[in-house]
Chains A and B, each alone.
Chain A
Amino acid sequence: MMRFNRLQAGYQGRAVTPVVDGELASGSMTALIGANGTGKSTLLKTIAGLLPPISGNCELQIPRKALGWLPQRTELETRFPLTAYELVAMGCWPRCGWFGGINRGLRLEIDAALDAVQMREFADAQPSTLSGGQLQRVLFARLMLQRSQLWLLDEPFNGIDTQTVTLLMSVLEQQQQAGTTLLVVLHDRPLVARYFQDVLSLDNAASALTPQLRRVAS
């Protein structure tokens, strides 16, 4: 699904992450971990094509349109006047584009996605009135609409209630079973140990500059 060829990510020409080599298999679910400042989000943004790599590259075997990106909630303009329903409908973009209509079939899909994250009754609520956990559920529903083959999630469980974490983790597991590849930035180690078999750690930069993708405790 994804190959790192000595990829190093950073900002403004300055490298932040260690050099990353390795491969993510299709249908894998990997946690991207590391201490603060090791560049987890920077690496994820580089993979998503939002930042140019400092050196090396990352080969995706899917077109950009098949990529699902979950931003950190702080990067959203949550005061924009929009309903949760419309937010989920954004996920139709890869299929509808600039002008395509949102037909009955897609509307049913939107309803189903809102149901799956238990947010149907908040369809008319605006993001500014939702809690962090509720907004995250809606953003997951949007991702489901995109039907992406690769999900890149930037700190999805940061500051979110445990009930929502459990619900959204089950969404992730269902997606994986359906064949989606997942790469998730996390810093909650117990959560990683509980749910994730594959871990990409950016911590061992001091010992070796190329942390290989490794498998922990399975």
Chain B
Amino acid sequence: MTLIQPFIEFGFMRRALVACVALAISATPLGVFLSLRRMSLVGDALSHAVLPGAAIGYLVSGLSLVAMGIGGLIAGLAVALLSGAVSRYTPLKEDASFSGFYLGSLALGVTLVSLRGSSVDLLHVLFGSLLAVDNAAILLVGGIAAFTLLLLAVIFRPLVIDAFDPDFLRAQGKWSAPLVHGLFLMLVVLNLVAGFQVLGTLMSVGLMMLPATSARFWSRHLACMLGIAMLLAIVSAFIGLILSWHFSLPAGPAVVLSAAVLFLLSVLTGPCGGLLRR
């Protein structure tokens, strides 16, 4: 009973759960592709990159999720574009240029938040706040999730081809490979922005990546992997929110910690390469 009671009794817990489930369904497929393309750390870098934009939104209009979301989206896309351009036109590899930009971006973001807010505000932005999830935030997260699934369906075929053989699409035409890569990175940024409404900028990438990497230990088929990743993310969201309620933990870290525990379990016992199954 204690497992579902908080969700029955309190509207904000229900809203947090709905937002987390929406995120679990839309962000984890992106995480699966990021990890299969060995770009796990790019997700991490982008989640840090979102911060200064969110901070500027916060400075302009206080703890408004829409303003912070738009700011975060612009900052994230800017870093993704700049890193892409730098790695394309200079000898620097993509991971190196991403880390250069995200570190600068993170420092700028923390500086901006501390200009006005207290450390409590900073903690809200970094680690999320369940109480901040109002109906507008739910609509935003839900909208982003629906858009993500639609666009992912549209680019699925070239995305798979590009992940397996990056030169194939580039040899076939000038624009499809960069277009698919760009749309994919845009979806990643969008989902990180949606995620930080609930989980905070630093933690939202956890819900994207951890279930995705765990799923590799449960199946060798892409479709199953995507489904398992979503399921694991939903389970971690539920467990994390319950723990956060009962032990008054911040929601973001609680959800990501649950996902991390599931990840460890998968590494140990997963049928596809788990350590204890060898």
On A, residues with C-beta under 8 Å from B are: 12, 45, 48-50, 64-65, 67, 69, 71, 75-77, 79-82, 87, 90, 93-94, 98-99, 126-127
Contacts and interface: CB of A to CB of B under 8 A. Distances in A.
B152 interface: no
B161 interface: yes
Given A67-B171, A71-B168, A76-B165, A81 B36 contact: yes
B172 A65 contact: yes
A49 B171 contact: yes
**In which size bucket is the chain B interface?**
20 to 34
B167 A77 contact: no
B221 to A, nearest CB: 6
Nearest to A96: B157
Contacts of B176: 98
Contacts of A80: 36, 160, 163-164, 222
8 contacts: A50-B167, A50-B171, A64-B173, A76-B164, A81-B219, A81-B222, A99-B157, A127-B164
Nearest to A80: B164
A81 to B, nearest CB: 5
Contact of B172 (A75, A87, A93): A93
Nearest to B171: A69
B170 A98 contact: no
Contacts of B38: 77
Interface in B153-212: 154-155, 157-158, 160-161, 163-174, 176
Interface string B139-152: 00000000000000
A12 to B, nearest CB: 6
B168 A98 contact: no
